[in-house]
Amino acid sequence: MLRQIGFIGLGIMGSGMAKNLVKAGYPLNVYNRSLEKAEGLEKIGAFVAKSPKEVSARSGAIITMLSDSPAVENVILGDNGVLEGIRKGSVIVDCSTISPRVSVKIANEAEKKGVEMLDAPVAGSKRQAEEGTLIFLVGGKKQVYEDNMQILKAMGKNSFYIGQNGMGSYMKLVMNMINAINLQALAEALVFGMKAGIDPDLMVEIINSTGARSGGSEAKGKSMIKGNYETAFALKLMCKDMNLVREETRNLDVPTPTTSIVNELYTMAKVKGKSDLDYSVIMEVMKEMAGISQKQ
């Protein structure tokens, strides 16, 4: 019989990931601060716990998918948290995008309890979480990664071992630096072309047929020109990640002039009340700055 899995955090990403664990046959114990988000999983056989402590007491592996560093610290280290109920020999797999230094801190606290931890943030968004095609970027002990690879395979199509604790978190920040800059560049270029009079649909088709294409242009180009910013990855989360990038690059004395400018532009979009929309909504900020209305 497959071991009991705990899952904490049933938001846009976590709900799809948890459902794929149930589909793979894992007995699942779940917790979410808003209990209504757990109802769908309860209907397909998951046990709904009353606290992170109860989840860990029932589970041999506990997966967390939460919004930020304070949330992960609270759920794992706080009162009624994961470490209060966990059994020696268990493993925590944190799939959140958080500070690498916080990730290392939590791993060290877990080790005091005889518990292993992997930081395993994901590449992908809501659709990939639902389809089970995420990519995991893993930091921690290699043997622990190998021992838990089947759990990751139930939720994703691939995983990469990056190195010691914190390295998975660093790799995720590297990727989101690129994603944020690429989408800002795409938004600027599309606005330029639109104001010059190029047909937007034709422009996206050409971009995606040439070396100018990117994952962002292929996934979001068409929706951006239509003003459709349905949330796959919320702007507020990209702002959070860009702030983490700023903290960690300063800590390592790495100059990031382009990233700093892009960070300010995403912050501008957040201040304009667009936090809960997809981060591709940066297009609207650029259109406004260029004097382009939605109808154009």
Catalytic residues, which ones? 172
CB 137, CB 160: distance < 8 Å: yes
Long-range contacts of 35-38 (CB under 8 A, 24+ apart): 37/10, 37/11, 38/10
Length of the chain in residues, anyone? 296
CB 161, CB 145: distance < 8 Å: yes
Residue with tokens 């400018």: 261
Three-state SS string over 193-231 comes to HHHHCCCHHHHHHHHCCCCCCCHHHHHHHHHHHCCCCCC
Residue with tokens 């029932």: 58
Backbone torsions φ then ψ of 253, nearest 5 degrees:
55, 45
Closest CA to 6 of 77, 56, 73: 56
Helices (H), the chain: 14-23, 39-43, 52-58, 69-77, 82-85, 100-112, 126-131, 142-147, 149-155, 167-196, 200-207, 215-225, 235-251, 257-271, 282-290
CB 83, CB 113: distance < 8 Å: yes
Strands 122-123 and 134-139: antiparallel
Q: Is 80 exposed, middle or buried (0-12, 13-18, 19+ CB in 10 A)?
A: middle
CA dihedral (239, 157, 182, 161) in degrees, to 10, reads: 70
